């Protein structure tokens, strides 16, 4: 039996729910893979949020594999990405993630400490987490957001960035 499973979510919302469930089951490698669909579909204003969330999961993968230095470096990166966001954003308790990044990094840097960093459940608020392709939206979208195709399968934008997936309603 494989250590990880392949997941093929059809919508970004499905990828998010699957990623949260895998995170809470401490299947952090698979969680980060699912959450990458959310990050790739996110509007520019939310990209650092989702990348920071993913980096926390990746730090957990490092912890699971005993790579304490990798965990600390990744927690520091996540902390830098998450701190500009409000305490709660898109139904995510960003403050909880920031506090976890700070506390875990301090504990992992202490050479005399006994390392028992408990990995938190996904920091979802009562109304979330949720994704929106519109950074100004105050609520989740009413229709599912298709998972974008691979980055290499999309034509480049005029500004050198990858465009929204043409299968989506973003135009």
List the domains of the chain with CATH numbers.
12-132+149-153 (1.10.3450.10)
Task: Residue 27: name the closest of 48, 47, 12, 5 by CA.
Answer: 5
Q: Where are the alpha helices (DSSP H) in the chain?
A: 12-24, 28-41, 44-64, 68-82, 94-109
Assigned token pair, 117: 């960093």
Per-residue pLDDT of the chain (171 residues; tens, 9 = 90+): 455 678 788 899 999 999 999 999 999 999 999 999 999 999 999 999 999 999 999 999 999 998 999 999 999 999 999 999 999 999 999 999 999 999 999 988 988 766 666 788 999 998 889 999 998 988 888 899 999 876 555 555 455 555 555 444 443
Gyration radius of the chain over CA positions:
16
């Amino acid at each position: 039996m494989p250590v990880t499973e392949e997941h093929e979510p059809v919508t970004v919302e499905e990828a998010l729910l699957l990623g949260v469930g895998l995170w809470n089951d401490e299947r952090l490698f698979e969680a980060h893979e699912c959450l990458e669909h959310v990050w790739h579909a996110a509007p520019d204003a939310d990209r650092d949020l989702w990348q920071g969330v993913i980096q926390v999961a990746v730090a957990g993968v490092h912890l699971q594999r005993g790579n304490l230095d990798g965990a600390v470096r990744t927690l520091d990166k996540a902390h830098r990405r998450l701190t500009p966001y409000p305490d709660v954003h898109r139904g995510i308790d960003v403050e909880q993630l920031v506090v976890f990044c700070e506390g875990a990094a301090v504990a992992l840097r202490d050479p005399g400490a006994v390392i028992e960093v408990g990995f938190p459940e996904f920091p979802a608020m009562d109304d979330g987490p949720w994704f929106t392709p519109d950074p100004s939206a105050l609520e989740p979208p009413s229709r599912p957001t298709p998972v974008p195709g691979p980055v290499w399968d999309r034509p480049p934008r005029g500004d050198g960035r990858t465009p929204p997936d043409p299968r989506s309603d973003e135009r």
